[in-house]
Chain A
Amino acid sequence: MITAERKPLEELLGYIAPYGRILLLGCNECVTVCAAGGRKEVGLLASALKMAARKSGKDVEIVEHTLERQCDPEYVEEVAGLVGQADAVVSMACGCGVQQMAMRYAKPVFPALNTRFMGGSERQGVWDERCAGCGNCLLGVTGGICPIARCAKRLMNGPCGGSANGVCEITPDVPCAWHLIWERLEALGQTQQYMEIIPAKDWKTAQGGGPRKIIREDLAE
């Protein structure tokens, strides 16, 4: 999923200061799962913004709504009426959702979240980065553990000298991805895989080639 965290309230109050009627728009997908921008978080932020505005002697009207998926035009179309009545939109979706709204509507759209990374749930309330979206997946030869997303140096052929006792030198909280890969290959009986040299990666499939696009010709209209 795409993970995100709420921006500081002060930043959001700065965005909405010139406006009186705000549509606070959540998303039912990734940001709901990572407890950043679902219906519950929309409710919390609406309360907080109203109280903070009231404290500074201003009254702001906040309409709460949560879309099924803010990165799809079909769903974004559904809120045309609500957007029409608002002076500005504060989106609690990831950056994709915010931009979908900004592309569709000629109203100011502000992000309420900082979009962080593509990650998985480690345990309740903890998410970690698992995929860097490099466009050319290596997981098939690295035991299902990504050296791009999980190695601080994005190394392709084994650990650097900063790996000690299975931990990365950047912080003791981060396991060495290549240590994990080796352990996994050992458990799978595939250590010969480690001896295969992975050639230098072509980053054109990542963002090195500029903004990316997928066109499925059988589906595209």
Chain B
Amino acid sequence: MEQFEPVIVAFCCHYCAYTAADTAGSQRLSYPAGVKIVRVPCTGKVDAKHLLTAFEKGADGVLVAGCLVGDCHFKDGNVKAARRVEFTKKYLQEIGIEAERLEMAGMSAGQGKEFAETATAITEKIRALGPSPVKGKNSCCGKAA
């Protein structure tokens, strides 16, 4: 049987985790190809709606990767993001999606190794959980003009 390859959407802060991912590349450290990076100016910009939409569109797991606590370029965007992640986890539980599929991590721009390890760890965790329970069907959504 073919091994399940999880799709992880990683919202990465421009000032730290995104650069850490870049550093991982420079250091020739590999991490799972299923980790899809979305660069954001700060994790404080990531809203619960972005996180839910990622799951709605087929992500098996979502990672929010920001700066270490105290190192946010915009003072406390990462702390706010952590609170939103906790809020969204409760929403996921109500929907029937395991809260562990959503995770917050902190790292500095130089921590390429940590980024690769975090990306690998969440991929393995989600692989063990299996595909997202809401994945597989197209949603029909409409927005009024």
Contacts and interface: CB of A to CB of B under 8 A. Distances in A.
Q: Report the interface size class on chain A.
A: 20 to 34
A54 B134 contact: yes
Contact of A82 (B56, B94, B95, B144): B144
B48 A51 contact: no
Contacts, number: 61
Interface in B24-67: 47-49, 52-53, 55-56
A52 B140 contact: no
A65 B133 CA distance: 27
B91 A44 contact: yes
Which DSSP category, helix, strand, loop or mixed, fits chain B's interface? Answer: mixed
A192 B113 CA distance: 70
B137 A54 contact: yes
A54 B136 CA distance: 9
Nearest to B143: A64
Instruction: Kindly name the residue among A40, A48, A52 whose own CB sees the greatest number of chain B CB atoms within 10 A.
Output: A48
A13 to B, nearest CB: 9
Interface of B: 47-49, 52-53, 55-56, 91, 94-97, 133-134, 137, 139-144
Interface of A: 8-10, 40, 43-44, 46-48, 50-52, 54-55, 59, 61-65, 82
